[in-house]
Each structure stands twice: as C-alpha cells, then as structure tokens.
Amino acid sequence: MRTRAEELEDQIKILTEERRHLQETYEAIMAGAWTGDEHSVEARALALDSKID
C-alpha cells in the first residue's frame, strides 16, 4: 500500500507537467499574438495540444 507522501509526490509530478503544458501553450499564443497572426496562434495551440495527447 502506498503512503500519503507517495501519493502526494505523484500528484505533484502530474501538476508540474500540466503547468509546463499550460506555460508552453501560453507562450505559443503570446508569440502568435505578438505577430498579429490569428492563424498562427490557433495552429500553435493545436500543435501543442496534440503533442500532449
């Protein structure tokens, strides 16, 4: 049986990975928004999303 500490460590790993994904998505969106290219923003966000799935 797993200890509470082990369960929390697993949750931290999952949340850290989710945060990294959100940060990458944010950076891609901001990069596209900076250029003013709406299609670029959408394409980058979709590419990042599919990379995670």
Contact criterion met (CB below 8 Å) for 32 and 38: yes
d(CA 50, CA 46): 6
Side chain identity at 43, as an amino acid letter?
A
Residue 8: per-residue pLDDT: 97
List, for residues 1-53, the tens digit of each pLDDT value.
899 999 999 999 999 999 999 998 888 877 766 666 666 667 767 777 776 55
